[in-house]
Amino acid sequence: MSFLKRIRFSGLMKQLLYLMVIVGIIMGITFPYFISGFVVIEINYSFRIACITAGFIVGLINFITIKKTLERSLHPIISNAEEISKGKFDTQLKYRSESNDIFSQLSKSIVSMAKSLEEMHEELKKQANIDFLTGLPNRFLFKDRLDKALDNACCKREILAVFFLDLDRFKYVNDTLGHTAGDELLRSVASRLKVCAREEDTLARMGGDEFNLLITKINQVQTVRDIAKRILEQFERPFTFTGHKLDISVSIGIAIYPLDGEDAETIIKNADIAMYRAKKQEGSNYQLYCMEGVLDKVK
């Protein structure tokens, strides 16, 4: 082990340490720019320092892991160093074999690290697009799918619809039963709304008690009305949990492409306006942004 002590801070180990720390710091510097493409977060000075510090720590951990791997691999080789110097060729062969094992284990460690980073990237990307409470797509994934659906509808001269749904009297649930009950209600609502959506549609939770539904491949506008009615029917049954029965209704606003806008922001905004129009009628109904007479022309 005396040999190991001598190489502990040798040039090779120092270079490895510098490399791992620099890679970690680079990851820490670039992480805020990477994550800002998926989630809304304030990238201030403190957040940058925290990321760089975390990267530095990750670099040290990687260095220690690789260093321990090398020491475990080198130990049997060093123990045979004296025999090698005496010209025992069978030991020399063993030395060469164990040297190959070092590089093999190091290669496996590098491949494992790369795989872990890839899995972490995919998991982060998934989490950035999914609503944690309901498991539905969030506003970012919905906006991405809506943009793609609009491009497709424009090329194929198709129509699509965006539903903007808002629960009626949801604040009352949070104020009287607590936020835990409110969260359970949102999960139950998401489950019922999934029943109404088709396989090719996208149901998303936009935040709070707001949900959006993207309906594509519409052959006739009556399909939009039928889906809206099915959603309202899902709220005719009370929601039951923890011994409480809640009669919750929903207000629905609907915007149709291309009548109510040709870009995602305009269509979502107009669906939101139609939703508030439904709320003014005491909720539990749906409203189309465009007038019925105009809408009938696209049948």
Q: Is 209 among the residues known to form the active site?
A: yes
Indicate which residue of 131, 168, 201, 209 is catalytic.
Answer: 209
Measured in Å, how far apart are the chain's first and last C-alpha atoms?
84
Enumerate residues 6+ apart whose C-beta is below 8 A from 41: 32, 35, 47
Cβ distance 273 to 289 under 8 Å? yes
The residues carrying an active-site annotation are 209
